[in-house]
Amino acid sequence: MSKLVTIFGGSGFVGRYVARRMAKEGWRVRVAVRRPNEALFVRPYGAVGQVEPVFANLRDDASVAAALNGADAVVNCVGILSERGRNRFDAVQAEGAGRVARLATAEGVAHLVQVSAIGADPHSNSAYARTKAEGEAAVLEHFPQAVILRPSIIFGPEDEFFNRFAAMTRFGPILPVVGADTRFQPVYVDDVAAAVVAGVLGKAAPGVYELGGPEVETFRALMQRMLGVIRRRRLIMNVPFWIAGLMAWFLDAVQTVTLGVLHNGMLTRDQARQLRRDNVANDDLRGFADLGIEPVAMDAVLEEYLWPYRSGGQYAEIKESAGNLRT
């Protein structure tokens, strides 16, 4: 019988690419998520019955243990960008990651890959970054041979970065950004998935890897690149951190007062803190080169999924060509 991998968060942005690659490797794939009925789209990634969504909640021992039953390898892709309800940074990214590692060891799982993030720091003033580091420590405590991957900001068709800001260009001539001079090293989602697969297959030595794409650019430069792809002209306005902090405080307060009914999906105080720090891979740590992976450049991918944001959509090039015709 083929081997089984359990992917926590396997229907998410990164997880679905990992699931697809593992299915192509011939493995049975168990996609462990909180809402299996919303993850049925993963089934066609493999043959009938090869990829199956199951229920699991990282806050609960019993459901995590059930999802790990019989697994040969486990991948934890679960992470949150902001807190909501009982999904708190510490519960999900620190305690949840440790729970997966502890129960994976008890189950006798051979390989564990933890998807973390560049910037993970136990001393950070950002709860996101601090709990990512705490999650790494908990994983290594219970599963010392784990592979930990720290990607920079991830791009791809389902991303919440380029898609989000491209959508914002539809609402006015100004594109506001916080931390315009902060540097990023965007990495293609399928390259991250390839790194995960290397860890699952035992082709990656245990330890921490920082994953960044071939280009390092400021937030402003990334927005300029995006505007070039969607062929729109917008004024990129840098929002000073002190103003961003006030905005984030107000938006967080609204979420608190409404008991989460009005969720702050725009800018939290924690995200404002993160944007003060560069998000670039550390050359002193292992990376893609150590995994035998050559990361894809942004220009090779962005055109494929940002074209709907052009004023003419799929017909933009035809309209531009027609405009050059002489009457």
All structural domains of the chain: 4-155+186-212+279-293 (3.40.50.720)
283: CB partners within 8 A, 6+ apart: none
* pLDDT at site 264: 87
- Give the H/E segment covering residue 303: helix 302-306
Least confident of 144-153, 161-170, 193-202, 310-319: 310-319
Q: Which residue has the higher pLDDT, 290 or 84?
A: 290
CB atoms within 10 A of CB 283: 8
**Which pLDDT score, from 0 to 100, does residue 320 have?**
60
pTM, full prediction: 0.93
Q: Which of 217, 265, 219, 216 is nearest to 238 (CA)?
A: 219
Give the per-residue pLDDT at 261: 85
pLDDT tens for 106-165 read 999 999 999 999 999 999 999 999 999 999 999 999 999 999 999 999 999 999 999 999
94 contacts: CB under 8 Å, gap ≥ 6: 131, 134, 135, 138
Percent share of the chain, pLDDT over 70: 95
